[in-house]
Amino acid sequence: AQKITQTQPGMFVQEKEAVTLDCTYDTSDQSYGLFWYKQPSSGEMIFLIYQGSYDEQNATEGRYSLNFQKARKSANLVISASQLGDSAMYFCAMREEEGTSYGKLTFGQGTILTVHP
Amino acid sequence: SAVISQKPSRDICQRGTSLTIQCQVDSQVTMMFWYRQQPGQSLTLIATANQGSEATYESGFVIDKFPISRPNLTFSTLTVSNMSPEDSSIYLCSGGQGPYNEQFFGPGTRLTVL
């Protein structure tokens, strides 16, 4: 069974500084995808970034980058130049990308990020 | 990409009643997924819904409590049956895969059971 662990229930960062949100995972699959989603208080799930298990380079999307260390089974999200609007819950998730369970997402516990002015 | 809508966006229901949540996708998707998010918690997969076959339920979720329909490739419903206050959650449907491999989510249905 897949498992995602986010060990930081809450994180604080000063506006314009960078912050790293931790995520470790456990799977026996060879093919999987790792995601980060942002969930503001409105409840919608906003996709931030994706990393495939076979991707050799770390994913980047604007201010978001994913520090993917496959051997350590970690996929940390780095947010650069934090903005007040980044304050939200952040979820790390893993998607099974092979077999009959294709598409199922397993989520971590989430990290609440608060950006201070 | 896919845009997913859900109805209702929120509801307050009485114990013992049932609520059906609708999920509409603006393009055809093979698989749709229903998730539950209890207050302050993470998302938990309830079931996977494929068109033309019975939904596949995750451990801890049963069809009698959460019957699902998937009549075509753009629509699905989840019914929360015989509700209790413990069913108060956000219910989200998901499906599709975008150009960045993202999986799309509906805006969620916020359910409160009194």
B51–chain A Cβ distance below 8 A for any pair: no
What is the DSSP code (8-state) at residue B58?
Answer: P
Which amino acid type is present at position B14?
Q
Out of A33, A45, A50, the one facing B105 most closely (by C-beta) is A45
Q: Are strands A32-39 and A88-96 parallel, antiparallel or unpaired?
A: antiparallel
Mutation choice for A interface testing from B30, B61, B90, B105 by most A CBs within 10 A: B105
pLDDT over threshold 90, residue A13: yes
In one-letter notation, the amino acid at residue A28 is: S
The answer on pLDDT for A101 being more than 80 is: no
Contacts of B9 in chain A (CB under 8 A): none
* Binary contact (A105, B33; C-beta < 8 A): yes
pLDDT digits (tens, 9 = 90+) for B32-81: 999 999 999 999 999 999 888 899 999 999 999 999 999 999 999 999 99
pLDDT above 90 covers what percent of chain B? 82
What SS3 state is found at B109? strand
Structure tokens at B77: 């419903």
Contact A106, A3 (CB under 8 A): yes
pLDDT above 70 coverage of chain B, percent: 100
A61: contact with B, CB 8 A cutoff: yes
- Chain A contact for B13 (CB, 8 A cutoff): no
pLDDT, position A100: 61
Position with higher pLDDT, B51 vs A4: A4
Q: Is the pLDDT of residue A59 over 70?
A: yes
Q: In chain A, pLDDT over 90 holds for what percent of residues?
A: 81
